[in-house]
Amino acid sequence: MRQTWRWFGPNDLVSTDDMLQAGVEGVVSALHQVPTGDVWTPEAIAARQGEIGTRRDGSPSGLSWEVVESLPVSEAIKKQKGDWRQHIENYRQSLRHLAGAGIEIVCYNFMPILDWTRTDLAYRVSHGGTCMRFDIVDFAAFDIHILRRPGAVEDFPEDVVAAAAERFSGMGAKRREELTRNVISGLPGATESLTLDGLQAHLDEYGTISPDELRGNFIAFLEEVVPLAQELGIRMCCHPDDPPFPLLGLPRIMSTEADYKAMMDAVDVPENGITLCSGSLGVRPDNDLPGMMRRLGERVHFLHLRNVQRESDQVACSFHEAEHLGGCTDMVDLVAAVVQEEARRRAAGRTDVSIPFRPDHGQDILDDLGRRSQPGYPAIGRLKGLAELRGIIATLEHRTRGLGAS
């Protein structure tokens, strides 16, 4: 398993020097400054590679840009409206430029409008640190009483609707503004942001798009880009919905193992693969993460390892980001499944034996609490998670080598 770290570029409060001290082997990054739908130019790609490859003092870092996260899919492509055909051609051109720069793994998602959704970006946990949280009652209060989306009341159970009304009535203006910012904050690192009016405009356009139609648009996108990726030697890996259940009346099509199976069957080549995010998928009680890794592992090209604590057994539930070895996912069993998959790849002679992973998200602890880093991306919290994951990996790999020797 190859240890990587997500980096948002020169403005990231975590530097290349910090990444080196954390002991990572590669970097996950993106050109967040490029508007979605535009071409990533060779010059911009090379500039980011140069930034990753340089320490604060100008000396070589020895690190390289190994995984793109994300090359975003535009809303026009998802809806097949407006300039969507040109955006697909721009996407294909960006893939050509990335391949020319030697980058072989591209993570993306097909979530409508919002790339992830949380209601609290600094939820206080028992040890005094903070984490991100999704509160279903707060979200219903936003949807019903702040956004005032038509039909929102019908999308929540009666008890949640009642609790949301009470919660909203007790909110001051500051909390209402904070909740709105949290919900519509969008992609981490992105310069683009939504307004309430902009969000409602997108929702109006999605109003007639069913899950089957969105899935058809997704397959059409894959049919355009995956054959080129295969030709270029790029492995595409789709990130799941976060959270993995419907929000704002929008269709969700990448929330379960069945969703991934349908996606892979539609364009059945190895380059059409998975970003297995244990945090996103782990929110659903009916998702078996170690089992998914064992059943779908040959197409897993990238891993996000994090954990969440579900606060009920409902599919649409409140949850918060847990410590990497806490929460509802058996991280030891999941990592064991990854190590087993790598052993299978090694025996089969595959070149992509070592699957890159990153310690996804993390709780803000110690000095993180005053850093104001990207929500979910503190330095020390992620380093703690990486250290814990590294211990699991070292133990399992040691046992695997021992069994092989005997």
Please state the three-class secondary structure of 273-295 as a single string.
EEEEEHHHHHCCCCCCHHHHHHH
Instruction: Given the residues 107, 131, 238, 277, select the one marked as catalytic.
Output: 277
Residue 406 pLDDT: 45
What residues are paired with 114 via a beta bridge?
none
C-alpha 28/C-alpha 107 separation (Å) is 10
CB 183 within 8 A of CB 225: no
Residue 185 pLDDT: 75
CB 119 within 8 A of CB 182: yes
239 part of the active site: yes
Residue 404 pLDDT: 55
C-alpha 61/C-alpha 55 separation (Å) is 5
C-alpha 93/C-alpha 229 separation (Å) is 11
Q: Which tokens sit at 152?
A: 């929102």
Tell the residue number behind the tokens 């090694």, with chain if given: 346
Residue 57 pLDDT: 96
361 part of the active site: yes
Q: At what angle do helices 289-296 and 331-348 cross, to 10 degrees?
A: 10
CB 350 within 8 A of CB 342: no
Instruction: Given the residues 91, 108, 123, 377, select the one marked as catalytic.
Output: 377
304 part of the active site: yes
Phi, psi dihedral angles at 321 (to 5 degrees): -75, 120
C-alpha 224/C-alpha 244 separation (Å) is 26
C-alpha 120/C-alpha 180 separation (Å) is 10
What residues are paired with 148 via a beta bridge?
none
C-alpha 271/C-alpha 235 separation (Å) is 4
Please list the ranges in the chain whose pLDDT falls under 70. Answer: 186-193, 402-406
Residue 68 pLDDT: 98
C-alpha 180/C-alpha 174 separation (Å) is 10
Asked whether the CA dihedral 108, 118, 3, 22 is positive or negative, the reply is positive
190 in helix, strand or coil? coil
Instruction: Given the residues 304, 317, 320, 368, select the one marked as catalytic.
Output: 304
Residue 367 pLDDT: 94
Note the pTM of the prediction, 2 decimals: 0.95
CB 143 within 8 A of CB 160: no
Q: Within 10 Å of residue 259's Cβ, how many Cβ atoms? A: 20
Instruction: Given the residues 202, 239, 320, 324, select the one marked as catalytic.
Output: 239
360 part of the active site: yes
- 124-137 in b/e form (b: 16+ CB < 10 A) is ebeeebbbbbbbbb
C-alpha 57/C-alpha 267 separation (Å) is 46
Instruction: Given the residues 202, 301, 324, 361, select the one marked as catalytic.
Output: 361
Residue 403 pLDDT: 60
